[in-house]
Amino acid sequence: MESYVSHRDRLWLYIFVGLVIFYLVVPMLIVIPVSFSSTTAMTFPPRGWSLRWYEAFFGEQKWIGSLWVSLRVATLTMIVTTLAGVAASYTLHQSSFRLSETIRATLISPLAVPSILIGVGIFFVYARIGGLLNTTAGLVLGHSVVALPFVMLTMSAGFSSFDMSQEMVARSLGANRFKAFVTVTLPQVKFSVATSMLLSFLVSFDELIISLMVASGPMSTLSRVTFATLRDDVDPTLAAVSTLMLIVTSVPPLLLHLYASRVRARNGRNAG
Amino acid sequence: MTERKTSALPVQVQMLSKHFGTVRAVEDVSFDIRAGELLTLLGPSGSGKTTLLMMIAGFSRPTRGSIRIADQEIVHLPPHKRNIGMVFQNYALFPHMTVGENVAYPLRLRRFGRSEIEDRTRRALDMVQLGGYGARRINELSGGQRQRIALARAIVFEPRILLMDEPLSALDKHLREAMQIEIRQLHDRLGMTTISVTHDQREALTMSDRIAVFSSGRLAQIGAPAELYEKPESRFIAEFIGESTFLPLRHTPAGPAYGEQVIHFADEVKPAAGEMLLMLRPERLRLVPANGTAGGGKDANVFTGQVQTIVFQGESLLFEVMLDGGHKVSVRMANRSENLRQLPQAGDRVALKLERADARVVRAEG
Amino acid sequence: MANVSTFPAPGPIGQAEFEANRRALERDRRAETRMRINLTLPALLVVFVLMACPILWLLSLSVVAGDGRLSLENYALFFSEQVYVEMFLKTFMIAFVVTVICVFLGYPVAYLLAILPPAWSGVLMLAVLVPFWTSGLVRTFSWLIILQRNGIVNKSLVWLGVIDKPISLVHNMTGTVIGMVHIMVPFLILPLYASMKAIDGNLMRAGANLGSSPTHAFFRIFLPLSMPGLVAGMIMVFVMCLGFYITPAILGGGKIKMIAQRIEESISLYPTWGPAAALAVLLLLMTAVCLFVSLKLVRWLAAGR
């Protein structure tokens, strides 16, 4: 919807929005230069340049160990939630299911619940049941709760623009349900599946509160160690960690988003 | 007619029903399809024809009944085991595969060898006159081309029967008419038993060996196009196929009559329960000037009335005539110079002549 | 002429075969239902076992007193002690302030996103999305660096002569609010943008055609139509602020304690889990009430169009 108002009349709007965007984007970039500072004071601009904080990060067990934990847990969460979410979303998409709307709402509901509640609840359950506190499985299950809604939303959008009669045709041509799904449906929603995988990985990698409640010590995730260091014992290694996290959590979605735009533009040109 | 391969096998549908709660989408439908026949399921939307097709294909589970193909009960078989070819209304071609890959898909599922696949794919594409299109992508094709690829894909594995769900509804008028004839010719060449669904009576008349007309979930009448056109059994059929206007009949000792005028029919008409109507096809009525001799007698029925409107419709003229008996009737006259010489005008009194052989009775409800 | 439809002798097919068909169809239908259940079950189990049940358990824990009796003393605790009443008030106030600032900053951005041509709005959208995707921990830490005593904000203000010596911008309410707004603004912009995009452009043009100045048309036509999306976004931001943990914990420096932090503390502070559970349930109730109000309000606003 374009407006018939001239650009000059809206100049104040452009300036205001420009300032807001500046406020949104620029501050978080400050960790990058600070991470290369040669001093322990986290000033900007840094007084000298060095890689010592990165060396500190890769050198210390607490950092490397927790990075390992986070990667492992995030990968497993990605696998679990993507499989469960794609299966559920696909089934719900077949319209003849009576309760599908209720179920879909239930699966998305964790988004509306503050994660402190989920974290505390899971903590109590684990403490009672035993065997899941401070374990990879416990972390993966906890992260899956908060990651699943993202998969459901992404796959819902993906399936909704998919024409189910293609699967029907495939079945009429001789493919059973599973083969039809794999050869016809999946290749066409593979972008949504990739997005789901990325989102669930990042949600888990970034997750703090549940990890805080459920695992500590050697099973601490990277975000938990980062948070503890931030709260108790601020240390410029944090800048290096933050830069790495910044890259990990913002670059892949950015690339995916750009790739999607290009694919969409290409399909738009070829539509006919 | 070209010689047909009788490799196709018959279909038997018995007492097939589909209920959605209290809605009876299909109710107790039974019919047979002969080998190599092209049967069209015709009816308005909501008549159950598409639901019936979906049950034959296996995508809709019947509430009860039986579907047999070549004496094999298939009603409980999943779609992929029925060996039926199907063309969907929106073609449903796989956009992530090329034309060739689309057509080869059913062959690959059946584990044909590579050279066999190439061979059959090429032949199928040739048969729909799109040979050489194998490497193209789906989004490069026009609507008519996509329809042909969908057909090629449905027949490439030589299924026992072919189903088509409103195959031409997505095409524009000219293309549709050309495709109707092409599909008919393709059918003749293949000799495959085919069931087609449509709401377009013209399409049904053009393409079919027989037409099954559906109304509110029930099979109203089944027969060859000419038969349905000439001898519809009910008002519904007479209105759905071709145009008609109707005159109410009452029974008299001398036979059915319109008001006081006894109507002459080719065969004797048995009185039946329910209201009876005289079906008048607009093109079967001939306008003669009212003052001339009627030329009636026992071989024709003559009605008198006044011309109300005349509409020019290109290849024909449509007259609306108000009969003296108080009913409005349509008359269609071919746009030929010999007709135009003595054209009645609006307001003129005219006589309408209906040959005895063209007089037909239909049930009011059906 | 024999009309095949009026009555079929069940020819070669007898009653027994019809029965067999019916049973086969039943079996098939049940198998399909089972498959559907199997496919949705894993996801449902995750949500039920790991969220619904724990929350129910929290509920049950919260109504058990220290000695095991059924009682509401855990709840009473939070309404009787001053420090907790302050916590509730402070949490609500911060949430409110953050929401209002988000609206003030976010509405113009969403508006511009909705009216810019695709190329420009794509770039602007990226500028909103990239911070949105970035880890909250990283963003909070960035503010810590920027707002600290010898951080760039203080240094610039001193250099510009606005103040004599550095003011404390972190480890207090100010820093907390700045940090939370930074995280929450995209949550307001995105749904608001979506609802603005759905507004029919012809309505504004009709207004102009009828004599409305652009400002007038905005206030009388566009703004009311964007209300449902705005209200939905506001309540979502408010609810998220209520339960927020990271930013207050870091930028509040121990002086700002919102509900989430108190919940975590209560686990180790009290001999039983009762108090922590009670506080958690209270937060859940507040969230639920806000969401319910939001639903009704949005529906009411949207229906009035």
The two structure tokens encoding residue A217: 């010590």
DSSP secondary structure letters along A85-112: HHHHHHHHHSTT-TTHHHHHHHHHGGGG
pLDDT tens digits, B205-245:
988 999 999 999 999 999 999 999 988 888 899 988 888 99
C residues 91-120 near A, CB within 8 Å? Answer: 105-106, 108-109, 111-112, 114-117
Query: Contact B59/B8 with Cβ under 8 angstroms?
Result: no
Q: What is the mean pLDDT of chain C?
A: 85
Of B80, B84, B106, the CB nearest to A176: B80
Q: Does domain A67-264 have CATH number 1.10.3720.10?
A: yes
According to DSSP, the β-strands at B38-42 and B210-215 are parallel
- Chains touching B by CB (3 or more pairs below 8 Å): A, C
* Amino acid present at C297: L
In CATH terms, the fold of domain B11-236 is Rossmann fold (3.40.50)
Q: Where in chain B is the domain with CATH 2.40.50.140?
A: 243-363
Q: Which of A14, A20, A153 to mutate to test the interface with C (most CBs of C within 10 A)?
A: A20
Q: With an 8 Å Cβ cutoff, are C25 and B76 in contact?
A: yes
Q: Is A96 on the interface with B (CB under 8 A)?
A: no
Q: With an 8 Å Cβ cutoff, are A30 and C146 in contact?
A: yes
Least Cα separation, residue C6 to chain A (angstroms): 31
Helices C274-303 and C53-62 cross at an angle (nearest 10°) of 120
Q: Which residue of B has its CA nearest to A168?
A: B59
pLDDT tens digits, A61-114:
889 999 999 999 999 999 999 999 999 999 988 866 677 888 888 898 898 888
- Tell me which chain B residues have a C-beta less than 8 angstroms from the C-beta of A268: none
Percent of chain A with pLDDT over 90: 40
Task: Count chain A–chain C contacts defined by CB atoms under 8 A.
Answer: 249
Instruction: Render each residue's pLDDT in chain B as its tens digit; 366 residues.
Output: 333 443 334 788 888 888 888 888 999 999 999 888 999 999 998 889 999 999 999 998 998 899 988 888 888 888 999 989 999 988 889 988 999 999 999 999 999 999 999 999 999 999 898 988 889 999 889 888 999 999 999 999 989 899 999 988 888 888 888 888 888 888 888 888 999 999 999 899 988 999 999 999 999 999 999 999 988 888 899 988 888 999 998 888 877 888 888 888 877 767 666 788 899 999 999 887 766 555 557 778 888 899 999 999 999 999 999 998 889 999 999 988 887 877 888 888 888 888 888 888 888 875
Q: Which residue of A has its CA nearest to B106?
A: A173
- Chains touching C by CB (3 or more pairs below 8 Å): A, B
Domain B243-363 is classified in which CATH homologous superfamily? Nucleic acid-binding proteins (2.40.50.140)
The torsion angles phi and psi of B316, rounded to 5 degrees, stand at: -150, 165
Q: How far apart are the first and last CA of chain C?
A: 61
pLDDT confidence band for C109 (50 / 70 / 90): very high
DSSP C148: S
Say whether the ipTM exceeds 0.90. no
Task: Count chain B–chain C contacts defined by CB atoms under 8 A.
Answer: 53
Q: Is B78 on the interface with A (CB under 8 A)?
A: yes
pLDDT tens digits, C44-92:
998 988 898 888 888 888 888 777 777 788 888 888 888 888 888 889 9
The two structure tokens encoding residue C179: 């940090």
Query: Contact B99/B136 with Cβ under 8 angstroms?
Result: yes
Query: Contact A145/A138 with Cβ under 8 angstroms?
Result: no
Helix (H, G, I), strand (E, B) or coil at B29: strand
Helix (H, G, I), strand (E, B) or coil at B350: strand
Q: Which CATH architecture has domain C82-303?
A: Orthogonal Bundle (1.10)
Query: Contact C39/A91 with Cβ under 8 angstroms?
Result: yes
pLDDT tens digits, C175-232:
999 999 999 999 999 989 988 888 887 887 888 888 878 788 888 888 888 888 898 8
Note the pTM of the prediction, 2 decimals.
0.82
- Tell me which chain C residues have a C-beta less than 8 angstroms from the C-beta of B221: 3, 5
pLDDT for position C8: 39
Q: With an 8 Å Cβ cutoff, are B83 and A174 in contact?
A: yes
Mean pLDDT of A55-62: 87
Q: With an 8 Å Cβ cutoff, are C136 and A206 in contact?
A: yes
Residues B189-199 as b/e (b if ≥16 CB within 10 A, e otherwise) read ebbbbbbbbbb
